[in-house]
């Protein structure tokens, strides 16, 4: 799945420039990679549920109505994992 960051984002200590990225789950390592612009951005993921109720890999990228966007990956084998990205543009607007 391809996602688009509207502005620069940060996840932990990883700074992600704005642009389009392919989502590459590395759930065995507890991370979700964003691939784009000739670079890989490894995002630390948190396990939400041990067993996801899905038969295929599902990826969702959504804004919860604030500065933080969530990237959720559901896998039948590895459960549900989430990484949270704080968008810079949204941080500026809230100050």
Which percentage of the chain shows pLDDT scores above 70? Answer: 91
pLDDT value for 94: 45
User: Where along the chain do its domains lie?
Assistant: 2-94
pLDDT at 93: 46
Q: Pick from 92, 87, 67, 93: which is nearest to 16 by CA?
A: 87
The C-alpha angle with vertex 10 and arms to 92 and 20, in degrees rounded to 5, equals 100
Q: What is the pLDDT of residues 36-50, one digit of tens each?
A: 988 999 999 998 877
The average pLDDT across 77-82 equals 88
Q: Is the pTM of this model over 0.85?
A: no
């Amino acid at each position: 799945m391809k996602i688009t960051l509207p502005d620069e984002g940060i996840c932990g200590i990883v700074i992600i420039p704005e642009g389009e990225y392919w989502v590459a789950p590395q759930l065995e390592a507890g991370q979700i990679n964003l691939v784009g612009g000739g670079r890989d951005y490894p995002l630390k993921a948190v396990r939400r549920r041990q067993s996801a109720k899905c038969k295929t890999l599902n990826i969702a990228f959504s804004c919860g109505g604030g500065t933080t966007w969530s990237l959720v990956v559901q896998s039948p084998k590895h459960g549900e994992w989430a990484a949270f990205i704080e968008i810079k543009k949204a941080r500026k607007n809230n100050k």
